[in-house]
Amino acid sequence: MVDSAAVISLCTEQDLKRQAEYTFAMGRHALADTSAIFRMKPSTPREDRLPRDQFLELRKCIGGTGTPLASHRLDEEELRELRKMYEPQAEALSAYFLMALPSWLPTERSRENWKVRRPGRDIPFAVSDPFSKSDL
């Protein structure tokens, strides 16, 4: 949600921009408060969740939709600055709860969490499972 709010706040104007900024602020505070409750220190992401090639793909995806988002307003450096405000806390919580942060772009493997476990099959290490037991 915070990722989406960051993008929307950069790609829109007026009321929608203001709503996205409020959502971003609330999400950022929720991450900060939750990490404080669990006494988690912000951590540096192991790898960039949005490398340049994926950023360009994200901008292309936004431009190809019928939404009020203006993809030309999405600036890579501005988005990086917003991400610095919440990703360290999100990364710490991700490691603590063994749940990978979502990717910026959908993958073919993406499914809703409620569809992941099927009776009679092994439960994955974590529902979001790019992590493996060897990562610990």
In the chain, the amino acid numbered 70 is A
Does residue 72 fall inside a structural domain? yes
Does residue 132 fall inside a structural domain? no
For the segment 83-98, the average pLDDT, to the nearest whole number, is: 94
CB 6 within 8 A of CB 82: yes
Does residue 28 fall inside a structural domain? yes
Residues near 83 by beta carbon (within 8 Å), at least 6 away in sequence? 3, 6, 49, 50
Does residue 113 fall inside a structural domain? no
Query: What is the pLDDT, as a whole number, of residue 47?
Result: 85
For the segment 85-111, the average pLDDT, to the nearest whole number, is: 85
Give 15: exposed, middle or buried? Use CB within 10 Å, 0-12, 13-18, 19+: exposed
CA distance 21 to 27: 10
What's the pLDDT band for 37 if we cut at 50, 70, 90?
Answer: very high
CA distance 44 to 72: 29
Alpha carbon separation from 36 to 7, 29, 74, 88, 132 (Å, rounded): 25, 10, 31, 12, 26
What is the residue-averaged pLDDT of the chain? 84
Does residue 78 fall inside a structural domain? yes
> Which region holds residue 30: left if phi is over 0, alpha if psi is between -120 and 50, else beta?
alpha
Number of domains in the chain: 1
Does residue 125 fall inside a structural domain? no
Does residue 32 fall inside a structural domain? yes
Range of the domain at 97: 2-107
Does residue 120 fall inside a structural domain? no
CA distance 64 to 52: 18
